[in-house]
Chains A and B, each alone.
Chain A
Amino acid sequence: MTAPTAERATIELAQKGDKAAFELLLRAHYDVMYRIAFKWCGNQSDAEDITQNACIKLARSIDSFSFQSAFLTWLYTLVINTAKDWMKSHARHPSKELPDNHRAEQPTAENAIFANQTMAYIRDFPDKEKEALFLVFGEGLTHGAAAAVMDCKESTVSWYIHEARKKLQSFREVECRHG
């Protein structure tokens, strides 16, 4: 799998030390990185911190990207690893608060609250299951592509997803009974 020409050229330039090229790369991918980070931790300020760390990491490791995989795939791995490290170093669970108060005030609040609760529940899953869910359903990767990011077999990804969905199913049933 090779990167598209312009992207590849940009990356190569950045690897040679071209600042502007690197900045282009950053600006082009910041939002994607943020999105992954946000899914992982569930609130804006943590997501911003994680993305910031990931950006710094990118600066240090851009040299080691060898065009063996798609840049985006490589980037996913980088962001997710950063997020894991960050969570570990902060030794606290991802915030279970609703990301923003205004969500609860919206008319369609009920669905949103439920979605947020579910997301908060997912954030407590084992890292691998969480990662598989985010990559496949959040980023739209195939099981195979997710496997490349997670550095495991495709069947393993499918298994993670299966496990996660089983848990989600029971979570939903419990929630609905109470609700």
Chain B
Amino acid sequence: MDERQLKELMAGTESAPPRDAARERAISQAMNAFDAVQQEKQKKFQGSGLLGRLKDRLTDFKRRRSMTPRTLTQKYGFAGMATATAVLLAMVTYNTFDPYLGAEKSLPEPIVETPKAETKQAPAAEAQTPSIVFRGSPRKSEPKAKSDSSNISGLRRAGEDITAKTYQPPQAVVTTPRAAPPAMVAPSPAVRQRLSQRLEGKGAVKLPEATSGIRGLMGGSVVNPLLRDSVPNQYETSGRDQFENADQNPINLVAENPVSTFSVDVDTAAYSFMRRMLNRGVLPQKNAVRIEELINYFPYAYPKPATRERPFQSTVTVTPSPWKKGNKLIHIGIKGYDLHPVEKPRSNLVFLLDVSGSMNATDKLPLLVNSMKLLLDTLRDDDTVAIVVYAGAAGTVLEPTKVSEKHKILAALDQLRAGGSTAGAAGVRQAYALAERQFDKEAVNRVILATDGDFNIGITNREELKGFIERKRKTGIFLSVLGFGQGNLNDHLMQTLAQNGNGVAAHIDTLSEARKVLVEESSSTLFPIAKDVKIQVEFNPKSVAEYRLIGYETRALKREDFHNDKVDAGDIGAGHTVTAIYEITPVGGTNRLLEDSRYKSDESAAASNSPHSDEYAFLKIRYKLPKSEKSNSFTTAIIPADEGTGSSEVQWATAVAGFGQILKGGKYTGSFSYDDVLALAKTAKGEDEFGYRAEFLNLVRLARTASAMPRK
């Protein structure tokens, strides 16, 4: 083999170019590592008490929130804006967002000042755009010119002007072709924006003279027209996050298909994901929006059931549809029985934590560790906790330990480091083995899987993994899945696993979300009160012509599955609320989308003599008590007496449903707009103890702005 052949061989075998996503991931992780190093360096100078700060826990909630990605994005000098400019904030993040932005540590630590310092409800504070000042710097870091810009394009132009002013002819570049390969000439808008901020001279780092080379490069990039196209598209249509493809449920003709069957769903992952995208200033991809999860994200004050034997209470309301005149919405609210603290059973928990290399980001492993600490505080002393980690290999970090020995658990958590690739399946086995060892018939036995994505080594066969989890579920060990980060998330897999393990799937993007899922809702996350809860609604062809279930696309069941106890369905935890909304067109409605069948049988005439002719529909709910394999059921007729304008809870759910449908493309909502959602939601906000609803209002505003962005 001669030299030429060898060279050709070497040159010719590179068949797979690097993927952009991989490149971005690598760069983002390297930037994180870079930040960590810089922080380390700074600490040497400042003797900063970072570690000390990490040690205080709940008491220091507010400050630690400053480590969460959203707030850090704000740190970038867009602080000091009033609530009214929150929308602008989102637009700035749109331009500057990148995954590692959240980890910038070379600037001084900000102190987050929430407008209402006494409210400990973090979400409320978050929704109100905290103002940030830099420690040791009395002035606000936001340049006046920016907050004055009243529209997005103006803002973007302003940003570019700033950069343009600092533009210097790129002399240095000419002499150094190697330093300026294509990738270098066209850095991301994020880099450009950040460097331009740096160049404004307000940053902590003063650029030395030598910068001019880079400044030249960066400045040069501003005039590069390619860059304008590199702004992300309006919808995030691709990326490594995987979602199940689901179109909205179609309209059904009652005469043809009078029965609708689905499984309840108490997951909320879709809401967190949507929030994350909107905070970036982009609309979430349509498949990522699961309307029922948006609706069920919020706690609703529906009437509570009286006893545990009938674990939940349903409330039905029929209201006029806000987006289609003449249509009605049938609103079915279910409230689960809430346990008193003394009734809570013991917990046998095994945390299965992903510590693969990709978890090495501020919004992943550190957030996960902090979340686990939060959860730990809600547990009782005789509960047991074990920790299994998985990366290149799976290993037990902590043998089952009583919560009373909390220091041991905390020490184990603090030692977690990210590295290696993901061998999830081996970890799953090990975690279940531990849970089995500690199995307690009376206790809640649960594996809590925390991951940022796919299992790419080991059993990658999804069916096999599903089967495994399903078999374990039958032995009484349940599984919950917590998703972290974004960019690599396999949403569909998370959903599937949690559904098969009788658990919830939640997406945790901030510490306040962790608190919502693991503390506020810990009893519903941990203690099931009913399992395999199925809902079946039979519509009365005499009074309803067409119907459509809003959301629950991925939860649809076959009609015959309702009575089949072998068919798995969703679970309801203590205190959970589940809401389902049908849109119906009454018989005689003029705005129907489907025509009657020409050969429609005349049964409805006969039915008119039956005693149920004025009912809209008949609701059947079927469920199993947690330790039983036999189903119970209860039924209610939905009658005209249920009609009304609806409580604020009903109105709220309607507003969220409208919002979700608009995000999914607005196929059935006509001219119903974000403004209509806002108007409806504002009146229905209610008490909103934890600020979840206030946050939602902000998200609607963000979506309105994001949708106003020019399409590519």
- Please give the residue numbers on chain A whose beta carbons come within 8 Å of chain B beta carbons, in ascending order: 4-7, 9-10, 12-14, 16-24, 26-28, 30-31, 34-35, 38-39, 42-45, 47-49, 51-53, 55-56, 58-60, 62-63, 89-90, 99-100, 103, 112, 115-116, 118-119, 133-134, 137-138, 140, 165, 168-169, 172
Contact = CB atoms under 8 A, between A and B. Distances in A.
25 contacts: A6-B175, A9-B210, A17-B41, A18-B198, A18-B205, A18-B207, A19-B194, A20-B191, A24-B184, A24-B191, A26-B31, A30-B183, A31-B18, A31-B183, A34-B23, A51-B22, A56-B30, A58-B30, A59-B32, A59-B33, A89-B392, A99-B13, A112-B12, A115-B13, A137-B7
Contacts of A39: 10, 13-14
A24 B187 contact: yes
B213 A5 contact: yes
Contacts of B6: 133, 137, 165, 168
Sorting the interface of chain B by its residue count into under 10, 10 to 19, 20 to 34 or 35 or more gives: 35 or more
Contact of A22 (B16, B31, B392): B31
Contacts, number: 187
A44 B218 CA distance: 31
B373 to A, nearest CB: 26
B19 interface: yes
Contact of A12 (B106, B195, B210): B210
Nearest to A111: B12
B683 interface: no
B204 to A, nearest CB: 10
B18 A20 contact: no
A88 to B, nearest CB: 11
B106 A19 contact: yes
A31 B183 CA distance: 9
B211 interface: yes
Contacts of A62: 34
A5 to B, nearest CB: 6
A135 to B, nearest CB: 10
B106 A10 contact: no
Contacts of B3: 137
A14 to B, nearest CB: 8
Contacts of B175: 4-6
B14 to A, nearest CB: 6
Contacts of A168: 1, 6
A52 B179 contact: no
B292 interface: no
B172 A6 contact: yes
Contacts of A63: 37
Contact of A48 (B19, B207, B210, B211): B19
Contact of A6 (B22, B34, B179, B420): B179
Interface of B: 1, 3, 6-7, 9-16, 18-19, 22-23, 25-27, 29-38, 41, 104, 106, 172-173, 175-176, 178-181, 183-184, 187, 191, 194-195, 198, 205, 207-208, 210-214, 216-218, 357, 360, 392, 420-421, 456
A177 to B, nearest CB: 16
A147 to B, nearest CB: 18
A7 B179 contact: yes
A20 B181 contact: no
Given A19-B106, A60-B33, A168-B1, A138 B179 contact: no
Contacts of A112: 12, 15
B365 to A, nearest CB: 14
B46 to A, nearest CB: 14
Given A9-B214, A89-B392, A89-B420, A26 B27 contact: yes
B30 A59 contact: yes
B26 A10 contact: no
Contacts of A10: 179, 213-214
Given A48-B18, A100-B15, A59 B172 contact: no
Given A4-B179, A6-B213, A100 B16 contact: yes
Contacts of B208: 13, 16
B34 A52 contact: no
A172 B33 CA distance: 44
B394 to A, nearest CB: 14
A24 to B, nearest CB: 6
Contact of A4 (B11, B32, B38, B178): B178
Contacts of A138: 7, 10-11
Contacts of A27: 27, 183-184, 187, 191
A52 B19 CA distance: 12
A141 to B, nearest CB: 12
Nearest to A50: B26
A56 B33 contact: yes
A72 B7 CA distance: 20
B370 to A, nearest CB: 22
A17 B106 CA distance: 8
B33 A165 contact: no
Contacts of B9: 115, 118-119, 137
B357 A17 contact: no
Contacts of B173: 6
A49 B391 CA distance: 13
Contacts of B35: 19
Contacts of A90: 392, 421
Contacts of A137: 3, 6-7, 9-10
Given A45-B456, A51-B26, A89-B392, A23 B184 contact: no
B29 A52 contact: yes
A12 B175 CA distance: 18
B29 A28 contact: no
A86 B88 CA distance: 44
A53 B357 CA distance: 8
Contacts of A45: 456
B37 A13 contact: no
A45 B460 CA distance: 15
